Amino acid sequence: MDQRRGLLIILSSPSGAGKSTLASRLRAWDTSIRFSVSATTRAPRPGEEHGREYYFHSREEFESMVARGDMLEHAEVFGNFYGSPKGPVAAAIDAGQDVLFDIDWQGGQQVRNSSLGKHVLSIFILPPSIAELERRLRSRGQDSDDVIDARMTKSRDEISHWPEYDFVLVNDNLDDTFARLQTIVSAERLRLSQQPALVDTVRNLNKEFEERT
């Protein structure tokens, strides 16, 4: 009973709301937090490494992983499959480590409904404004207007799922938002279900009561 089970910390947001930066800061703040590296069928971009940004798989490989039940969640986005391999997550939380997921609402729903769903802490990040969201997307300089438009449509869909999350943070200031994220994660770790050692603590108190009388 002594071993705490880790949390599945799900961060979702429309693209450009600051989710990746917040995820990086969270991992820098507590290096025990594992990151759930997604599997994908899309081609690697320059500089991306198998097992670091993504696990890159063929469509056939991906589909057989899904068929074997090896994916905690998966979805098709813009013609490519994305998913979270289950094995590393289960191993990490059994070892008492929290695992961070950077996934969208579809993934969030599937993880919540999975066998590990009761260990989920889900947080949605909103942009302060849509103008700001678009500005951030454009400032990356990666995408054409058509791709930007498609991302904005997807963003609107993503935002519509905010009520499904435990917490929603409006990212108007990165430092403030990160402080709130730290508070949430710290508090959740104090929750009764995250403190299996309390059973021993109370057992020892009861022993003291016995010895007193």
Cα separation, 145 vs 205, in Å, equals 65
Stretch that binds a second copy, among 66-74, 84-92, 104-112, 127-135 (CB under 8 A): 127-135
- Residue from 168, 175, 176, 200 in contact with a second copy (CB under 8 A): 168
Q: According to the binding rule CB under 8 A, does residue 156 interact with a second copy? A: yes
Q: According to the binding rule CB under 8 A, does residue 159 interact with a second copy? A: yes
Q: According to the binding rule CB under 8 A, does residue 30 interact with a second copy? A: no
Cα separation, 65 vs 41, in Å, equals 12
Could you give the C-alpha distances from 61 to 41, 66, 84, in angstroms and in order?
9, 9, 14
Stretch that binds a second copy, among 19-27, 34-42, 52-60, 198-206 (CB under 8 A): 198-206
Beta carbons within 8 Å of 70's beta carbon, 6+ residues apart: 85, 86, 87
Q: According to the binding rule CB under 8 A, does residue 148 interact with a second copy? A: no
Q: According to the binding rule CB under 8 A, does residue 9 interact with a second copy? A: no
52, 74, 78: which is closest to 151 by C-alpha? Answer: 78
9, 21, 36: which is closest to 122 by C-alpha? Answer: 9
Binding site for a second copy (CB under 8 A): 126-127, 129-131, 134, 152, 156, 159, 162-163, 165-170, 180, 183-184, 186-188, 190-192, 195, 198, 201-202, 204-206, 208-209, 212
